[in-house]
Structures are given as C-alpha cells and as structure tokens.
Homo-oligomer: A and B are copies of this chain.
Amino acid sequence: MNSLIVRRILRGEVASAARLMRDLDDEIPSARAALRELYARAGRAHIIGITGPPGAGKSTLADRLVEAARKAGKAVGVVAVDPTSPFSGGAVLGDRIRMQRHATDEKVFIRSLAARGSVGGLSRSVFDTVTMLDAMGKDLIILETAGVGQDGVKVAGAAHTVLVVMSPGQGDDVQALKAGILEIGDIYVINKCDHKDSEQLARSLGLALEGAAPRDGWTTPILKTEALSGKGTAELLKVVYEHRRALDGAGAWERRSLNMARSAFMELLETGLRGFINEECEHGAECRKLFGALASRKTDPYSAAKTTLRKLLKKSPPAPLSKRGDNPSFRKGGRRGI
C-alpha cells in the first residue's frame, strides 16, 4: 500500500521529503500514515548527536562533518534544533546560513527546527525528520542540539553516537559538567583547539572522565578539532565510524536503536497525555468544580491532582505523585511516596 509519496521518498527525492515535512506540520492525516510506512522501512542510518554549550562551535563542526562525509560519498541528513531559550539564540541564524553551502548538494538534507515553546525540544518533529531522512537512505544523520535545558541530555536517547563538544575559554567548569553530561558522551570533542586554554580543558576533562568504565566495548576518547579551519574533523569522522564498529561488535547497535524508538514512544505518550489533560480541563465540568475548590482553598493542588488521576486512569496509579519520574535530584531518602 505504498503511496506515491512514500515511494518517492524511499528513492531519496528531496522535493517529496520537503512536502511530507510540510504536511506533517499541517497535521494532514495521510502524511502521518506515510510516515508510519517510512518508519517500517527505516533503521539503517547512523544517527550522530552533537551537543554542548552555546558557542562551542557545534554547527561549524556539523558542517565540517557533512563535508568530510560527502567526500567519502556518504549521503547525509542534518537536523538542527535551535535553543529553547527565549533569550539567547543570537548566533544561531548565522550558523545555519553557514551550513547552507551544502544546500545545493542533493545528497545533503538540512532541516532546522525551532524548539521554542516545545517541552524538551527534541520532540516529535525531530523524530519525524530523522525517520524520514533514514528512510530516504541517508547514511549519516547529524542531530545537532543546543545544550540548553534538557535537550543536551535527551540527545543521548536519540542517537547511536553522541558527541559532546566543548571549547576553551568559555568559563565552563568541568565540575559543573559532571552532572549528566559526562555520562552521555561517546566522543568528547575539544573544539577551537588552537586556543591557548585548550590543553587545560583537555586535562580537566580527562580527569573528569578518568576511571569511567568502557561502555559497549568503547572507551570514551577526547579529540581536538578546529572546526573553523577543518582541522581534526576528518579524524573525528573516522572515530565516529570506529564507534559504530565497536557498537556492532558489542551487539549494542540494535539496543541503541531500540532505545531511540522507546524514547520517542515515551515522549509521544507524554505529549498525548498532556493534550488529554488540557482538553479535559478546558471543557470538563468536573475540572471547573475542582478549580472552584482550589480558589477557596477547600482543596489543594496535590489532592486535586490525585483525585483527577484516579478519575482519568483505568488502573489506580501507584504512588502517583511521588517524586519518582519528576526530579531525581530532589530525592534524597526512601521511596515512601504519598
């Protein structure tokens, strides 16, 4: 039952892919069905996540990786997620424009997504785009995401190989990075390595990573690049390939692919539930009654949420408002729940 647009995208036709993306944005049901067909046919691309603090040079590095991969004859897709911050974002447009030098290369497909307003940022549209690029036959898909909020961490569940990019002289305290970011990288990249403080950063990072157990048969390397001039970027791509071989060797490739599908599933589920709650509370009479009780402080938000959960869910939720699933850093004691 492959529709025409699906066949065209499977052949790698850019115009059809662009149309599908537009139709998905417009929430046209047939587009959703087409994506489902594409999903069944996807699963071959090597997905490379790039994360790191603003200004580390992620976009420039992505651009260089595209260049190196194209030289080796690979088809490449790029998904760039803008910072979620309503404040920063100044340099982003310039970076995108820089990457446009690949725009005339039909083997390169670049899509920028604004994460603004989205919860998590790396959400549904990223998943859609990656699925489509994968089905188009891209060998590599680069997923570039600003290391703001949860995005930097979420990229770990959305890629086979995670590059964490840092640069010297940004005042990044490696200590501060320890929380989270030192666990997600498969390859650490010190960009702007011609900067005088790059050795210092490499040393601190090396110390911070010291003693970490190899994961999936892979010991995390620290590489140096100067993306602006292209220095070290071809070597970086080689190490990315090595990581793939290590994953294959350790039988971890499939597990990471499944993990990506699972992350997407969990996120879609949350989105669906959120939409459901909003719908209920906009139109439901019960919710209005509840809000009245809240206004008079006859009930409190906790009790109200508990009652509502019981009403919405078929099964009774197990300690639904325990901090589990919320913020692990707040959980100091046992799991007694409420």
The chain A residues found within 8 Å of chain B, CB to CB, are: 25-29, 32, 35-36, 39-40, 42-43, 52-54, 84-90, 113-120, 123-125, 127, 147-150, 152-153, 171-173, 176-177, 179-181, 254, 257-258, 261-262, 264-266, 268-279, 281, 290-291, 294-295, 297-298, 300-306, 308-309, 311-315, 317-338
Interface centre among A89, A116, A297 (most CB of B within 10 A): A116
Do B278 and A265 have beta carbons less than 8 Å apart? no
Residues of B contacting A276 in the complex (Cβ-Cβ under 8 angstroms): 309, 313, 317-318, 320
A149-B84, A269-B309, A309-B276 given; A89·B329 CB < 8 A: no
Query: How many angstroms between the C-alpha atoms of A126 and B331 in the bound complex?
Result: 14
Residues of B contacting A35 in the complex (Cβ-Cβ under 8 angstroms): 300, 302
Do B268 and A277 have beta carbons less than 8 Å apart? no
How many whole Å from A327's CB to the nearest CB in chain B? 4
Interface centre among A29, A52, A149 (most CB of B within 10 A): A149
Query: How many angstroms between the C-alpha atoms of A268 and B303 in the bound complex?
Result: 10
Copies of this chain: 2
- Chain B: CB-nearest residue to A115: B327
Partner of A303, one of B36, B123, B148: B36
Query: How many angstroms between the C-alpha atoms of A176 and B92 in the bound complex?
Result: 11
Partner of A302, one of B32, B278, B314: B32
Query: How many angstroms between the C-alpha atoms of A277 and B324 in the bound complex?
Result: 11
Do B294 and A258 have beta carbons less than 8 Å apart? yes
- Chain B: CB-nearest residue to A149: B149
Do B326 and A123 have beta carbons less than 8 Å apart? yes
Query: How many angstroms between the C-alpha atoms of A27 and B36 in the bound complex?
Result: 42
Residues of B contacting A334 in the complex (Cβ-Cβ under 8 angstroms): 26-27
Query: How many angstroms between the C-alpha atoms of A25 and B322 in the bound complex?
Result: 10
Do A338 and B32 have beta carbons less than 8 Å apart? yes
Do B116 and A320 have beta carbons less than 8 Å apart? no
Query: How many angstroms between the C-alpha atoms of A119 and B120 in the bound complex?
Result: 8
- Chain B: CB-nearest residue to A268: B305
Residues of B contacting A127 in the complex (Cβ-Cβ under 8 angstroms): 301
A-B contact pairs, 17 of them (CB 8 A): A25-B330, A25-B333, A27-B334, A39-B300, A85-B147, A86-B147, A90-B173, A117-B179, A118-B330, A119-B326, A124-B326, A124-B327, A148-B149, A264-B301, A270-B270, A270-B274, A275-B322
How many whole Å from A177's CB to the nearest CB in chain B? 7
Do B323 and A124 have beta carbons less than 8 Å apart? yes
Query: How many angstroms between the C-alpha atoms of A116 and B153 in the bound complex?
Result: 11
Nearest first, the 9 closest Cβ-Cβ pairs linking A and B are A26-B333, A149-B149, A275-B325, A118-B327, A272-B320, A268-B305, A53-B87, A264-B301, A39-B300
